[in-house]
């Protein structure tokens, strides 16, 4: 809480610090002139000395930012596309499935077929949009959650039908559960001769994922990313789960969301892919993410097409940041550029203090004696 030094308190009352120290002693506290005393104690001392205390708390800009966040009213909310993350064990076909869904082919161009970036894309099925976020392993998922970001609405758990439940499958289940995100199981590679979907289902019952046909409530879809089999059904199921989840947002407010990935591009400067989660992000908006800030200079959708605005659940590439914001960082837009810069100054200060704390040499008693 708030504190004040004995000296400062005495100065405010235009009295001698000795009188404050004396009063504190009467109250059972031994204090020196530079000692910090808490607001309650200061109030008692001042009252005893015949002063009234008016504690003014100077809110930091960060708190002001949070307090400026408006509460959405039900009437302002519209249905937004679900945000889906594909998770699963190495090589079970996460990238292939995502590619098959958006009819592209990233896997072939990736070195060794391993996902090396986070991408975010949108597809349309029966007139309804679905946003897919591709995470490399679970690192990004964890980093985002550590920062308090909740990006994913629905997790697709991919399991290869010829391999079954593996360590990272279990990890993915735990991540999704910790984030309270519904899981849809996609049993992949059913085209393979040694595919055994029944075995996968049996193994998953041990993790409390039980298919509806066995009396449970988990949706299972058997797919082949390679042969593009049952992908429509998978999308159908995503939309079904989304309908139950009723994901909504207010498009008519200052945009807020999460940085999905970011890098320094030689020609374009810092480039960040962000997911708008509420409000509408527009070209010209003043945006902050961590200690990165700037005016949105240009925005591109996942196909590279320039857009002037992006509403809830839309992933866009943003140009105009002062530096590369870290993946998983929350972004905000503020109307008042000066206020935005004050927040950044405050964050820089905090960052520096933390760095100083980390680099300050720690001297123990033993070190002193061993010199």
Name which of 87 and 316 has its Cβ closer to Mg ion.
87
Residue 343 to residue 330: CA distance in whole angstroms: 14
Task: Choose the one of ligand GTP, Mg ion, none that binds residue 113, judging by a C-beta under 5 to 8 angstroms depending on kind.
Answer: ligand GTP
Strand 330-334 and strand 128-134: the pairing is: unpaired
The nearer residue to Mg ion, 5 or 107, going by C-beta atoms, is: 107
Task: Decide the pairing of beta strands 219-222 and 183-188.
Answer: parallel
232: annotated binding-site residue?
Answer: no
329 Cα distance to chain centroid: 6
Q: Tell whether residue 137 is among the known ligand binding residues.
A: yes
Question: Is there a catalytic annotation at residue 95?
Answer: yes
Measure the CA–CA gap between 212 and 214, rounded to whole angstroms. 5
Q: How many CA atoms lie within 13 A of 196 on its CB side?
A: 10
User: With respect to ligand GTP, which residue has the nearer C-beta, 55 or 114?
Assistant: 114
String marking each residue 213-252 x if it binds ligand GTP according to CB under 6 A: -----------xxx--------------------------
* 301 in active site: no
Q: Is 60 in the site for ligand GTP (CB under 6 A)?
A: no
199 catalytic, yes or no? Answer: no
Return the structure tokens found at 214: 């066995």
CA 194 from centre of chain: 39
Residue 90 is a binding residue for ligand GTP (CB under 6 A): yes
Among 23, 94, 201, 256, binds ligand GTP (CB under 6 A): 94
CA distance 325 to 270: 8
* Of 122, 32, 21, 139, the residue nearest 80 (C-alpha): 122
- Name the site residues for ligand GTP (rule: CB under 6 A): 88, 90-96, 107, 113-115, 188-189, 191-192, 224-226
Q: Which residues participate in catalysis according to the annotation?
A: 91, 94-95, 138
Annotated binding site for GTP: 88-95, 134-138, 188-191
Annotated binding site: 88-95, 134-138, 188-191
């Amino acid at each position: 809480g708030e504190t004040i030094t004995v000296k400062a308190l005495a100065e405010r009352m235009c009295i001698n610090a000795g009188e404050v120290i004396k009063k504190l002693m009467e109250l059972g506290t031994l204090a020196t002139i530079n000692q910090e005393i808490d607001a309650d104690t200061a109030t008692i001392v001042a009252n005893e000395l015949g002063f009234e205390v008016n504690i003014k708390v100077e809110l930091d800009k960060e708190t002001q930012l949070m307090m400026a966040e408006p509460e959405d009213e039900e009437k302002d909310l519209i249905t937004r596309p679900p945000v889906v993350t594909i998770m699963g064990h190495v090589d079970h076909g996460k990238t292939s499935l995502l590619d098959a869904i958006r009819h592209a082919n990233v896997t072939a161009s990736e070195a060794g077929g391993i996902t090396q970036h986070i991408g975010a894309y949108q597809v349309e099925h029966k007139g309804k949009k679905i946003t897919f976020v591709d995470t490399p392993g679970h690192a990004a998922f964890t980093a985002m959650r550590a920062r308090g970001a909740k990006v994913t609405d629905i997790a697709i758990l991919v399991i290869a039908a010829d391999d079954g439940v593996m360590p990272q499958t279990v990890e993915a289940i735990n991540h999704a559960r910790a984030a309270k995100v519904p899981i849809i199981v996609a049993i992949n590679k059913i085209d393979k001769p040694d595919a055994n979907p029944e075995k996968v289902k049996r193994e998953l019952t041990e993790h409390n994922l039980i298919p509806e046909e066995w009396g449970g409530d988990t949706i299972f879809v058997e797919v082949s990313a390679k042969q593009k089999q049952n992908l429509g059904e998978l999308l159908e199921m995503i939309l079904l789960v989304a309908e139950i989840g009723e994901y909504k947002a207010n498009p008519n407010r200052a945009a807020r969301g999460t940085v999905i990935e970011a890098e320094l591009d030689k020609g374009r400067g810092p480039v960040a892919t962000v997911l708008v989660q509420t409000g509408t992000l527009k070209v010209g908006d003043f945006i902050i993410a961590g200690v990165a800030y700037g005016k949105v200079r240009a925005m591109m959708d996942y196909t590279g097409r320039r857009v002037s605005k992006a509403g809830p659940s839309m992933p866009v590439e943003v140009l105009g940041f002062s530096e590369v914001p870290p993946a998983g960082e929350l972004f905000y837009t503020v109307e008042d550029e000066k206020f935005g810069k004050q927040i950044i100054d405050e964050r820089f200060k905090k960052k520096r203090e933390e760095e100083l704390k980390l680099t300050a040499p720690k001297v123990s008693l033993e070190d002193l004696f061993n010199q």
